Amino acid sequence: MKYEPGNSFFDEMYAADGRVRPHYQGLQEYIDRLGVSEFQRRHGMLDLAFRNQGITFTVYGDSKGTERTFPFDPVPRVIPASEWAHVEAGLTQRVGALNFFLNDIYGDAQILNDDVIPSELVYTSTHFRREVHGVTPPGKLYTHIVGTDLIRDEKGEYLVLEDNLRSPSGVSYLLSNRDAMRRIYPKMFEGQGVRSVQHYATSLLSLLQSVSPRDNGTVVVLTPGMYNSAYFEHAYLAQQMGVELVEGRDLFVDAGRVWMRTTGGRQQVDVIYRRIDDDFIDPLTFRRDSALGVSGLIEVYRQGRVAIANAVGTGVADDKAVYAYVPDMIKYYLNEEPILNNVPTFLGSDSDHLEHIVGNAANMVIKAVGEAGGYGMLIGPSATEEEVAEFLVKVRANPRDFIGQPVVGLSRHPTFYEDSSAFEGAHIDLRPYILCGKDEVTIVPGGLTRVALRRGSLVVNSSQGGGSKDTWVLDHDGPVTPQGQSQFMHGHVGGGLSQGQTQFQGGFGAVPIDTPAGEGGAEEVMPGVDPALAGIREQVAEEAQIGAYVQSQEQEPVDPGDTHSVPTAGEESQAAETGDLDPALGAVGEQVAQDVDSQIGVYVEDPGSGEQVPQQRQSQEQSGSGSPTQRQSQSQSQSQKSYQQELEKNELGGDK
């Protein structure tokens, strides 16, 4: 893997002396073994899969088109176990303090009375909702779902950049990224000890059901509609949880309860996972011109007959000016020192801070406190003098609405650029997703790593040209022994079978692997196997798996009026098991099978002794049971069935 880490920023994969970090060694060896051309070919398959699945986001005001696919880089970010334990502890501490803060300011406001945080800073926030003052949400939970943005500075220290407590988005891309990577680069995961993320939807549904005012309550996802930038995510999460995706017009209030219109009549709704800002959620309470919300919803919420996640009013805690006081919240409510530090922040509402912001604007990042997605922000070093002067006019006019922070050199990570067919450094951040329940906090191992794909840019937001990466959290600190071909050749280590082994056994013949262990605990299949032939055979099996996934994303559209073209469930099942392989690969696989069998023989059970004994392969021509084309088809079917079984096992068992 050819890559120049540089010396100006912290590089996630390479240490300052140029050596790969221990937890990245297995990944580096896999990429080297795969080769740049093959890596690029599979990258193209990922793009195709994302387009066909509709994994998109919306850029408002973009003349090139509203909807686009979410850019994805297939070089994963890897976080070792000890490092993640530190991050996890810091996030758990932080969301706990934020929930205490929200309960406090919508109640007795003791933290304000004790002058820990200026009262005017809270009460002048555009996201402070007086309409719900005194309302206690179910379980006293305001922050059910949190997305906290983390960065690493030049020294490699994790810092909190901001908290997202209203409707944090992006988790669907995290899950889709992992799903696609496991299919396009299946052997990248072998033996790496990557923790699973597939439990998120189940955990989210369990959390939402736990705050229902009724037993076995009905949960819905409330979306603004298909033109919202995160509509793909709304639909994805509803589908994954098995709940209804609704718009405001699908709900109504009657007799002090919220109801959903259905084809079978109205149905009471108990929990609303809302992806709509407070301003638009109820036109009788907030914006009168809103056509997205549900009239009367807040009154039902006050009466405790419906739960809303996240709770109304949480936005005050992710105000970027209030963010500066989160370390003080941790000390005040928990009597602990913050585990994760903030980025140093200057408040426009403070006269001394404002003077510093104005005097150093060319070297700072200045942000509007209520904006998100990279909007309302000035990056001084990359702005012209005119742009700086124009932005400072806004700051002086409304200083409460702005903060200033020093420019932090975000850590960099190897990223594959197709235009140069090379790996280059790109700046990244990390958004972990936290589920806060009554009794426990669940954090998805990893999160969404966002990457600034524009060369030299520090802005990772998708709306500003950013993309994403898969994020691995390991169950160890590294290094790992690369598995790939060695597992294919030498049986299992630690009691489990590798994916390559399963496909080997279920592919072009049955080869016993329960032979005595060799040096280092590895079990040899048979000493006479040519490694080159075994490698080709493994490649055929992997190509079968990748090919099946790509074919599944290339289904031809079906004419709704043509009933003859719609496959039955049985036909779909059969197609999934016997999908066509590349004929060339099938021919190579058949020849490899014959070559390997000629060296080691095919083992069958002796009827008398019950032992495995070698038997030379007999062709179907000799037994008069089929043509070469039929043999190739049968071989392909065996390989595909093996792949299907392995895929089902992985789906049930999660990432290994």
> Mean pLDDT for each 10-residue chunk of the chain (656 residues)?
87 93 95 92 84 65 58 94 97 97 97 96 95 94 96 95 92 92 91 94 96 96 92 94 97 97 96 96 96 96 96 95 97 98 96 95 93 80 93 95 94 92 93 94 94 84 77 92 40 37 33 33 43 61 64 49 40 36 44 44 49 46 43 47 42 38
CA distance 407 to 361: 10
Give the model's pLDDT for residue 461. Answer: 67
Instruction: Report the Cα 5 to chain-centroid distance in Å.
Output: 25
CA distance 272 to 219: 6
The amino acid sitting at 263 is T
Longest dimension (CA), the chain: 95
Cβ atoms within 10 Å, residue 200: 22
Determine which helix (DSSP H) or strand (DSSP E) holds 149, and give its type and residue range. Answer: strand 145-152
The dihedral of CA 392, 320, 448, 314: what is its sign? negative
CA distance 152 to 10: 8
β-partners of residue 251 are: 260
Q: What is the DSSP string of 105-131?
A: HTTT-HHHHTTSS-HHHHHT-TT--GG
Give the model's pLDDT for residue 46. Answer: 83
Lookup: tokens for 223:
């979306």
CA distance 486 to 235: 42
With vertex at residue 28, the alpha carbon angle to CA 26 and CA 30, rounded to the nearest 5 degrees, is 70
CA distance 307 to 302: 10
Backbone angles phi, psi at 253, to 5 degrees: -110, 135
Do the Cβ atoms of 14 and 4 come closer than 8 Å? Answer: no
- Nearest Cα neighbor of 471 from 187, 183, 232, 171 is 171
The amino acid sitting at 474 is L
Give the model's pLDDT for residue 157. Answer: 96
Lookup: tokens for 142:
């305001």
β-partners of residue 145 are: 435
DSSP state letter for 432: -
Q: What beta strand segments (E) does 186-330 contain?
A: 219-222, 244-246, 251-254, 257-262, 265-269, 271-274, 307-309
The amino acid sitting at 51 is R
Give the model's pLDDT for residue 533. Answer: 60
CA distance 104 to 114: 12
Give the model's pLDDT for residue 398. Answer: 95
- Nearest Cα neighbor of 20 from 75, 64, 67, 61 is 75
DSSP state letter for 192: S
For residue 375, how many C-alpha atoms fall within 13 Å in the half-sphere facing its CB? 8
CA distance 427 to 414: 9
Give the model's pLDDT for residue 33. Answer: 93
Backbone angles phi, psi at 611, to 5 degrees: -90, 160
Contacts of 481 (CB under 8 A, 6+ apart): 26, 191
Query: What is the pairing mode between strands 402-406 and 377-379?
Result: unpaired
Burial class (CB in 10 A: 0-12, 13-18, 19+), 401: buried
Instruction: Report the Cα 384 to chain-centroid distance in Å.
Output: 36
Domain ranges of the chain: 22-473, 484-554+576-653
Residue 27, classed as helix, strand or coil, is helix
Do the Cβ atoms of 315 and 105 come closer than 8 Å? Answer: no
Query: How many residues can be counted in the chain?
Result: 656
